[in-house]
Structure 1
Amino acid sequence: MTSNGTGKIMLVGLGPGSQDYLTARARAAIAEADTVIGYATYIRLVKTLLDGKEVVKKAMTEELDRAIEAFDRAKVGKKVALVSSGDAGVYGMAGPTFEVLFQAGWTPDSGIEVEIIPGASALNTCAALVGAPLTHDFCAISLSDLLTPWPTIARRLDAVAYADFVVALYNPKSGRRTRQIEEAQRIFLHHRDPQTPVAIVKSAYRPKQHIEFTTLENMGEADIGMLTTVLIGNSHTFVKHGLMVTPRGYANKYAVEGGSSAARAGEKAGHSLSSGLNGWLTAIHASGKSAAELADEYRLPEGYIAAVLSEPLELDEEISSSDAE
């Protein structure tokens, strides 16, 4: 690889699209760039910042072309802003760019600097619009099968539905891909209550923003498209006063009724739940049940249970902390 100067590729996350939510560093990177490259829709989001820039617009499925274009310009000393909506590292251009760079033999000390500039992803911005649905464990799954086999996507959907994660579905539907969201719903209904809350957010923080609350059973009737993110709650998520909230679990430890914050009987602030790891290990060792019985009771792999039971009971020392447990 040869270079005629010290080029730079800046992988810029634009956030949801409104310039009110564009970070200062993202704005500065675009100002610094000689060339701005991106999907045409993303370029439009920052069109007021592009005076005097060389602008290269690419189609939706031309991610590798965008990365190659950025690399070619950086090789001759250009500073390039390669823009993605949301965060460049979450279904964005960071991954394809590094694939192209590594195939070309690039290393961090080879004369072309690469900077990743984070932006708020769709799950953050959509969650902010509907309440606090991500307060407990969550994950993101893309329903696009353009690059990922459907059985892989289906296994991931089944695993997280079974494990009771809150889930953000990216790329749920397009003009050509209409059935994937129906299959996702079908898989979730095998594990979740049909009344599980669902938020449908389209074009978050953009002029055509639209928010709809529905249920897992009825989500197929919602207006879902390529610019939509679907947030599916877990078994504890609720909607109240137009806000979707997933409890963190404070009620398991504290008597929150009536404004109290006292620990419940058997619980202690700053220590794991009585049903936390130490409590659970003590309980299963004392149960007298087989690994198979315990695996069925706790919905955990029998091999894992057997390994735990085969070890002497050694409990971690509890250390108080201030991490809002």
Structure 2
Amino acid sequence: MPRLAAPLREAQRRREKRAAGLVSDIRLSGINDLLIRLDDLIIAFIDHPSFKGLAFLLRRSAADFETALEATISGYSSVAFDAMRDVLEIEYLLRDFALDPANITNWLDADQKTLKKYFSPVKVRERLKTAGIGNFGENAESRDYRAHSMSLHLSPHRVGLLPGKGLARDRLFPNDFGFWEIFLHAHGLISAIRSLTEALAPESEVHHLASQDSALLAEARKDVQHTQELYYSMFEARNLLRGNRPGEACAVLSIALRDAGAIRGELLTESKLEAFYDEAIRVAQGEVSPAQQIAVLLVAILNSTDGQ
């Protein structure tokens, strides 16, 4: 069955290649720490009467993170994206429970009609927005939810920042997309759990456990954010180039390289432009990395237009 074998073989090839390279990667360590923390919280929820009925939501979110990791390693970024939408819905529901704890029993006892009328995703988001929780305006969180909705629902339009269905292109940034989603929504979920335990049982062992910070998770999230910011800078620069604004494109890329620590910030002055150019070439000719990809584009723009 060659039609079926081809994508399965390619997914297996990517899985083996990427898994080998991730053995000592901070991102894998961060996700492992996240799953251990969720396992501990599941046990704590089961042991506390106020949270026992919600333990399955944490178990479901842990399964979502496992799914997203496997999909990311195999190259199915869109599967990871969809799994994280589920985590996002769980996060919003937990925040709604923290806002009004009576909704826990109302939700657990609800029939399908009540769930649709009072606990559909749109109703939950409306309550959070009214309470000023979640910031559902023109910010990153709101845009993230809209992006998930755009990915889920059929449309004749392709949004460049979203992963396509099936195997993603085997390139540097598409391969990292799932990690961006995992750490973004891990942060949101842990924050929501903490809000819930504080609202219901602030002196309990459950809240103490939920309030603990993970250095590994924070470090991994910071590492992922650097890569994500570099990708967005490349996307923004390309849009500026299409608008015939190469100077602004150079500025966006230069700042991204500075913020990532790839180029010294003091070189971004008019008196040191030559040294900055030499440094950009050095990064562009180095080992393949997110910063190297950005530097390649920057040097190409500078060589073709002098950055003007």
Report TM bin, short chain: under 0.3
- More helix per residue: 2
Greater relative CO (CA pairs within 8 A, separation 6+): 2
In the superposition, the TM-score normalised over structure 1's length comes to 0.26
CA radius of gyration, larger in = 1
Q: TM-score, normalised by structure 2?
A: 0.27
